[in-house]
A and B are shown apart, each in its own frame.
Chain A
Amino acid sequence: MARKTTQTRKALTTVAAWSIGFLIFFPILWTVLMSFHSEGDAIKGPFAMLASPWTFESYGEVQHRSNYALHFWNSVVISFGSTLAALVIAIPAAWAMAFVPGRRTKDLLMWMLSTKMMPSVGVLIPMYLMFRDFGLLDTRSGLVAVLTLINLPIVVWMLYTYFKEIPGEILEAARMDGASLRSEILHVLTPMAVPGIASTVLLNVILAWNEAFWTLQLTTSDAAPLTQFIASYSSPEGLFYAKLSAASTMAIAPILILGWFSQKQLVRGLTFGAVK
């Protein structure tokens, strides 16, 4: 009897849980579904759209109208470039904070993270002027620089959390064996922190890939990543939902696949390493 009730209960919770999951996943599913219907069918209402014939025409038109490969490549360069640049700056800084902590280290960390709470638009005017004056508007290098800056706090914070878990004695031992500072960091610390660094890289690539504010403000065409590619299908004359969905699907597919295969690292990244 008792066994039966728990079975029923389990079935019920499973059904409820999958319903929540479906609800969470639904907007994405819908976008993908919509991308396979024609523009006219997409605005007929939900059921009429599902009943209408499937077609690839939206994808064809998007291919025809914009240069997906260029935007894709821009996104790759910008997200990986900025993540690598941030790592180069952050690894030494996180080392200093984790292994040579001062009285103010924690405050410094917190201050860095608090800058993430600053709305980007607050620094838009000065940044925009700086970009204009240096001729960096609509260039990939300009965007890499900006995304490095905005993701740096998170990279430092995450690396700090991971480095903290590595016992200082190991570095101490390497030092005793005559390892220079450079090899201590490059050959002892970094290899041990590889899982943490991987999570950090992954999270930041995703954050940079999705970054919409600066990419939309500072690029127009040449350096425009996929966010700009999607936005170009939402025109003031009205939205082209089917084409928009096709563009969105093409833009998010690479990152969804990346996320799917690296969920474990991603979870650590998402929790900033603070929750195990």
Chain B
Amino acid sequence: MQAYWKRSQRKLAPWLFLAPGLAMFALYVIIPIFQSMAISFYDWDGLGEKIWIGTANYVELIDDDAFYTSLKNNVIWLVLYLLAVPAGLMIAIFLNQTVWGIRAYKSLFFFPFVISQVVVGLMFSWFYAPNFGLFYKLIETVTGDGVAILADERFVTYGIIVAGLWPQIAYVMILYLTGLNNVAPDQVEAARLDGAKGWRMLWYVILPQLRPATFIAVVVTVIGALRSFDLVSIMTNGGPYGSSRVLSFYMYEQALSEYGYRMGYGAAIAVVLFAIMMVFISGFIWKMWRDETER
């Protein structure tokens, strides 16, 4: 046994080393996904008897308006969040010139990132607060009529997204600023001699060199958009009238909040959420990753 270990240690070690990590993933990802799938076929309050109801949860989901509202909000989140990538790029390019006090200046951009979403949500709740919030006052001054963003079905989702975009843009900005340090100056100079300027310079010379930064920026932005749960639950709790719910929040509301302990229905929502994620997001990221590594 000992001799065998000595001989094949080098061959076995990589597998042994990967094993704990993979086991942890199984615990956190694979088992819960299958468990969710299994639960989604039952009517269950989490404590009592599980009742097999087949696909009834899914059938109910198809006709559930709240489900579609949440799904729509998820899409809005994802689309608007991705704006953080070009926005961060623009600020980074703008700042990548000599600005007085740039070192101290850059630190300002770290702060939003190191702050918890709880604090972000609460800060922005204050900005939006009717009658005394800064943002409310601003709108009141400009339009003559204040809008309680977080209590208005039309604006609530956008209001929460703005709160989320704040740290996200700062993050992307830092990524690109770091990436810009590495753009080869001789290539930029050569392109300039060839007459490249402005957009063409950006698109053909600078952006290709920023690809690693763009990859990370997109990945963290997508992750951020899917973490919408935290901000929604802190800022509005899904309201008013459920208009700011996202899928993850709706699932939580159905399964674990005081509105009902419908584990089965919640699990069905989770399964749909997984399915959507697998198809769209992993496909998209996968492609970017392939482009990135096979270049």
* Interface stretch of the complex, out of A28-36, A56-64, A136-144: A28-36
* Complex Cα spacing A34 to B229, Å: 26
The reply to whether A121 and B29 contact each other, CB–CB distance below 8 Å, is no
Binding site for A on B (CB under 8 A): 9-10, 13-18, 20-21, 24-25, 27-29, 31-33, 35-36, 39, 46, 91, 94-95, 97-101, 105-120, 122-127, 129, 131-132, 134, 137, 166, 169-171, 174-175, 178-179, 181-182, 212-213, 215-216, 219, 222-223, 226-227, 229-230, 234, 247-249, 251-252, 255-256, 263, 266-267, 270, 273-274, 277, 281-282, 285-286, 289, 293
The reply to whether B119 and A230 contact each other, CB–CB distance below 8 Å, is yes
Chain A residues, Cβ within 8 Å of B14: 95-96, 100, 102
Chain B residues, Cβ within 8 Å of A230: 116, 118-119, 122
The reply to whether B251 and A121 contact each other, CB–CB distance below 8 Å, is yes
* Complex Cα spacing A42 to B39, Å: 47
The reply to whether A210 and B125 contact each other, CB–CB distance below 8 Å, is no
Chain A residues, Cβ within 8 Å of B18: 92-93, 96-97, 108
The residue from A97, A114, A216, A275 contacting B182, defined by CB atoms under 8 A apart: A275
The reply to whether A13 and B97 contact each other, CB–CB distance below 8 Å, is yes
User: 20 extra interchain contacts, Cβ-Cβ under 8 A, other than A92-B16, A127-B32?
Assistant: A14-B99, A28-B112, A115-B29, A119-B229, A121-B229, A121-B252, A122-B32, A123-B28, A125-B35, A126-B35, A231-B118, A241-B126, A244-B122, A245-B126, A256-B111, A270-B113, A271-B175, A271-B216, A275-B179, A276-B181
The reply to whether B119 and A31 contact each other, CB–CB distance below 8 Å, is yes
Name the residue on A nearest B292 (C-beta). Answer: A274
- Given known A-B contacts A96-B13, A275-B178, A110 and B108 have beta carbons under 8 A apart: no
- Size of the A side of the interface (Cβ < 8 Å), in residues, is 93
- Given known A-B contacts A90-B21, A110-B285, A125-B266, A27 and B28 have beta carbons under 8 A apart: no
A205-235: CB near B (< 8 Å → 1, else 0) gives 0100111110011000000001100110010
Chain A residues, Cβ within 8 Å of B33: 122-123
The reply to whether B119 and A252 contact each other, CB–CB distance below 8 Å, is yes
Q: 26 A–B contact pairs at CB < 8 A?
A: A16-B94, A17-B95, A17-B99, A18-B99, A21-B108, A25-B108, A25-B111, A27-B120, A30-B123, A30-B126, A46-B137, A110-B289, A114-B282, A121-B270, A122-B274, A124-B255, A125-B39, A126-B31, A126-B39, A156-B21, A213-B230, A251-B119, A252-B114, A259-B111, A259-B114, A275-B179
Binding site for B on A (CB under 8 A): 10, 13-14, 16-18, 20-22, 24-25, 27-28, 30-31, 34, 42-46, 49, 89-90, 92-93, 95-97, 100, 102, 106, 108, 110, 112-129, 148-150, 152-153, 156, 181, 206, 209-213, 216-217, 226-227, 230-231, 234, 239, 241, 244-245, 248, 251-252, 255-256, 258-260, 263, 266-267, 270-272, 274-276
